[in-house]
Amino acid sequence: MTTDLPTLGVGLGFRPPFLADLFRNRDGVDFLEITADHYLDVNGEKLRELDLLAEHFPLVPHGLDLSLGSAEGIDPRYLQSLARLVDRLKPPWWSEHIAFTRAGGISIGHLAPLPFSREAVDVVVRNVEVVQREISTPLILENITSPLIVPGSDMEEADFLTEVLDRTGCGLLCDVTNLYTNSVNHGQDLDHVLARWPWDRVVQLHLAGGHWDDGLLIDSHAHPVPSEVWAVLDRAVANAPVRGILLERDENLPPFKELLADLERAREAGRRSGRWN
């Protein structure tokens, strides 16, 4: 299912402050990821913004609030809104997180981690099957961070992801920053994690910079990408059939040329491994 997807190259998570710079530097940005939730059931100005972006860049919708880890199932109205957006954009793939964001029908406002357990795999697989019946465009799933391994976990993260991907047929949106962050916060040996990671399922990578807070590494998307994460990216691109690398920057926005320099570095990493020209 993921082997015939196109190669997009290097991209940026779209944030409205980037708009003017994006159009001035169109050659440096191959695709954009848009936060799906910002464009569900919109009209007027937001719809015009979406259409303008879609005219000039390939767009990949990235969802936040599907809550694939909710045992109560998927909100059908939210899913239908998402399906309409994906249908409008006709992207090569779209993405969501392996997380839960809703409990008792209420949005909790952040991506909460799941235990790495068979029960959690079953819930995610059941929900993804519901989603795949509504949206036939390939869905790729993103690994998230957690400050600690959630109690009830009885598998390693890599094995948990592998099982979810095998049973759903989904590709992996491998966030290399999240991978690195969890290895640090969970006290795991990075080489061990990398050796078990399901690289063959990767479609796209995420890349970002975090910060230290009270002994924990936080994936805040607010700082430059650290050298340790660039090193993981190099190994990911060497190991995985990567079709796109996307830089996420949400806060503390630097001059746009710094983001372009990061994209160029990611592009070069992809070239070195023969992922694109």
52 C-beta neighbours (distance < 10 Å), count: 12
- 249 belongs to the binding site for Fe ion (CB under 5 A): no
- 267 belongs to the binding site for Fe ion (CB under 5 A): no
Angle value at C-alpha 192, between 189 and 193, nearest 5 degrees: 90
- The mark string for 131-170 relative to Fe ion (x by CB under 5 A, - otherwise) is ----------------------------------------
Look at residue 190 and give its three-state secondary structure.
helix
94 vs 109: CA distance, rounded Å: 21
The residue to which tokens 């809104």 are assigned: 81
Nearer to Fe ion, 157 or 175 (CB): 175
Least Cβ distance, residue 47 to Fe ion (angstroms): 25
Nearer to Fe ion, 206 or 267 (CB): 206
Task: Name which position in 206, 243, 267, 275 contacts Fe ion (CB under 5 A).
Answer: 206
- 97 belongs to the binding site for Fe ion (CB under 5 A): no
Question: What residues from 171 to 190 belong to the interface with Fe ion (CB under 5 A)?
Answer: 175
How far apart are the two ends of the chain, measured CA to CA in Å?
24
125 vs 218: CA distance, rounded Å: 28
Nearer to Fe ion, 145 or 153 (CB): 145
13 vs 206: CA distance, rounded Å: 9
Nearer to Fe ion, 97 or 102 (CB): 97
Token pair, residue 145, equals 């961070």
3-state helix, strand, coil in the chain (%, to 5): 45, 20, 35
- 62 belongs to the binding site for Fe ion (CB under 5 A): no
Phi/psi at 161 (5° precision): -60, -45
Candidates 13-21, 46-54, 86-94, 201-209: pick the segment binding Fe ion (CB under 5 A): 201-209
Least Cβ distance, residue 24 to Fe ion (angstroms): 26
Token pair, residue 1, equals 């299912």
Question: Which residue is nearest to Fe ion, using beta carbons?
Answer: 206
Which residues of this protein are in contact with Fe ion, per CB under 5 A? Answer: 175, 206
